[in-house]
Amino acid sequence: MADASGGRIRLTVLGGYLGSGKTTWLRHQLHLGRFGPVHVVVNEAAETSVDDILLTTASGLTLLAGGCCCCVGRQDLVTALRRLCDMRSRIISTDTRLDRIILETSGLADPGAIVAAIQGDAILVNHIVIDETIVVVDALHGLAQLQSEPLGRQQIGAADRLILSKSDVADPATLTILRATLRDLNPAAPQTGAILGQDVALNRLPPEMQAAPLPHLSNEDMRGPIIPACVTVGANMDWSLFAVWLSALLHARGNDLVRIKGVVRTPAGRLLLQTVRKVVQSPEILPNRADLGQDGKIVFIGRGFRPEDLQLSLDHFMEPTR
Amino acid sequence: MCNACGNPAVPGHWTDAGADTPGDRLRARFRRVALLNKILRPYGLSAHDDGMVPGIQLSTWSGNTTIVPDLGSLWADAERLIGCPIDPLDAEYLHG
């Protein structure tokens, strides 16, 4: 498993709230050629689309308008992706063919639901591997959205990487509080800044910085807010045991576990493990590095459990097997 | 995927990711089934994997047996066989 994609197309999901700057960011990244030759799939919840006009530098573009592809437009998305896979399968593997797709979701989409839809499709799962979920956060309005919109919190929870757009116009103090709040909601996702799509460095976030209090929302789950927890498995963890435990945990609590992310040591090497709800993405083997400090620490983001119970449960699982 | 039996339906279950070589994979299968037997015994279940037949065989002590393709689907079948949920975060399991 040197290459986790195994000849499959790599798919990057680009999400973020309405107006957060997804298209602006993507447009600049395409201009810079960051993703190489790429096919862009744009989803817009509205019937009238604008984004496709802006993204002309992509190698190919598919527009899915008139339905958010995490819910009502899900079948359209699956059909469009199947068509791309089909077209690629007709080209022999030694020729240049499609290697990467970027899916720009609508601002109302839950990236977690999209990942689940793709991995739940018997055809797509054999052709597409989810590479990364990038979520763009509006530095100006992000905090207000997090305080009032459950969807905004779901999007943050599903992210592998957070891009703070409009970071130049936001008040520095507010930006720091927003970043601390994002760190609280998803400690595993690195944060970078962007101004009109151009990367900008963000100041170091002080560890003691307090997150903004997020109120309970009426249409949010009654089992409480989404909270992060960290489980330490140690460098010499038994992968088989951990896999048995995690599979049982995901079966019982998968819908409550918005996100799990961490690096674990296995006989095959350092494994990047990440899940979105019940869906586990193809674990990727990472190169060995000198700095292995974060290995064996796994972040769980979810609700309906006490953070300390996760470690207790894993320890309990180990007991009869000793 | 095999055209006759359709196995495996998806490329490599994530729980197999920790083993790279054929030897490691076989060792991981035996280790996993040994662990499962210790964990499932209190529930009146046993697991069997001979390393040849794809999947894990799951049986009750009265002989009711099913074959599950991977760990992801094992727990749903285990619950069906014993008739109650298995939850690693259940308070009784943790503190009982």
The 10s digit of each residue's pLDDT in A197-237 is 888 888 888 888 888 888 777 655 566 666 778 888 877 77
Does A244 contact B75 at a Cβ distance shorter than 8 Å? no
pLDDT score recorded for residue A1: 37
The 10s digit of each residue's pLDDT in A251-260 is 999 888 877 8
The structure tokens listed for A21 are: 């700057």
- Residue A106 makes CB contacts below 8 A (sequence gap 6+) with A43, A44, A45, A68, A69, A70
B52: number of Cβ within 10 Å = 6
Please state the pTM of the whole predicted model: 0.68
Distance CA A82, CA A12 (A): 16
The 10s digit of each residue's pLDDT in A156-176 is 988 999 999 988 888 888 899
Give A-chain residues touching B24 at CB under 8 angstroms: 267-268
pLDDT at B6 over 90: no
Chains A–B, number of C-beta pairs less than 8 Å apart: 110
The 10s digit of each residue's pLDDT in B8-32 is 666 678 888 877 788 888 998 999 9
B interface mutation test: which of A240, A272, A300, A313 has the most B CBs within 10 A? A240
Give A-chain residues touching B20 at CB under 8 angstroms: 1, 267-269, 285
Distance CA A28, CA A51 (A): 13
Does A282 contact B11 at a Cβ distance shorter than 8 Å? yes
ipTM confidence score: 0.91
Does A6 contact B11 at a Cβ distance shorter than 8 Å? yes
A interface mutation test: which of B2, B7, B14 has the most A CBs within 10 A? B14
Nearest CA among A26, A62, A61, A68 for reference residue A47 = A68
Residue B8: cis peptide before it, omega within 30 degrees of 0: yes
pLDDT at A101 over 90: yes
